[in-house]
Chain A
């Protein structure tokens, strides 16, 4: 199982903000492919978006262990 979180505009685009994927894809690229297969627009939107796995930023692909929390982080705007 992998828990996926979408923030900002990504949640509106997808129509969900949090979902579990079962079984867990074994890498970030595999997860992106699963998402793109069911929602091409979302898949496209996830390209080039910053990603955190278990609260740590990762770049490119990364292995996912069962129970991983994957957050897709579009451009940030606070203050």
Chain B
């Protein structure tokens, strides 16, 4: 299940719903990204997306992860709009027969969401808003999955 969420969501409830009825997936791995407060330097994030395009891009990443890591299923929920410090930004959950594939697929998806999914992130704070662009580390993290 892949969706963009305008409002805060309950990651625990999403995890349980995803787990429901699974009898053949021996492993589920999850990642929850949370907006940092930066000791008051940040009052919140604003996530912009191009909904149809963004969803299609995440669907393509999920399909690649499904094939590459032999997943049974994948869940990606990504917030858009205003996000307060302490709120969740993104939840990725993967289900596979064994843990290694589930862990690696989760890592792969987060690396791709970070710098290749069509989101634009603005940080609000006392010093005014600023757009956050991917760091060299973010780009390198995604590139390590590319074919040589």
| Chain A positions near chain B (C-beta within 8 angstroms) | 5, 7-9, 12, 52, 55, 71, 73-79
Pairs of residues from A and B, 3 with the lowest C-beta to C-beta distance, nearest first? A8-B120, A78-B119, A79-B114
Nearest B residue to A50 via CB reads B118
Q: A77-B114, A77-B134 are in contact. List 18 more A-B contacts (CB 8 A).
A: A7-B120, A8-B131, A52-B53, A55-B56, A73-B118, A75-B134, A76-B116, A76-B117, A77-B115, A78-B78, A78-B114, A78-B118, A79-B33, A79-B78, A79-B89, A79-B110, A79-B113, A79-B114
Q: Closest CB-CB distance, B79 to chain A, in whole Å?
A: 10
- Rounded to whole angstroms, the CA-CA distance of A71 and B115 in the bound complex is 18
| Chain B positions near chain A (C-beta within 8 angstroms) | 33, 47-48, 50, 52-53, 56, 78, 89-90, 110, 113-122, 131-134, 138
Can you list 10 A-B pairs with a CB-CB distance of less than 8 A? A7-B48, A7-B50, A52-B50, A52-B53, A75-B115, A75-B133, A76-B115, A77-B121, A77-B133, A79-B114
Nearest B residue to A73 via CB reads B118
- Rounded to whole angstroms, the CA-CA distance of A51 and B33 in the bound complex is 28
- Rounded to whole angstroms, the CA-CA distance of A74 and B48 in the bound complex is 12
Cβ contact within 8 Å between B110 and A76: no
Cβ contact within 8 Å between B89 and A77: no
Cβ contact within 8 Å between B53 and A76: no
- Rounded to whole angstroms, the CA-CA distance of A79 and B33 in the bound complex is 6
Q: Closest CB-CB distance, B52 to chain A, in whole Å?
A: 6
Of the residues A9, A76, A79, contact of B118 by C-beta under 8 Å: A76
Nearest A residue to B110 via CB reads A79
Nearest B residue to A5 via CB reads B50
- Rounded to whole angstroms, the CA-CA distance of A78 and B89 in the bound complex is 9
Cβ contact within 8 Å between B33 and A55: no
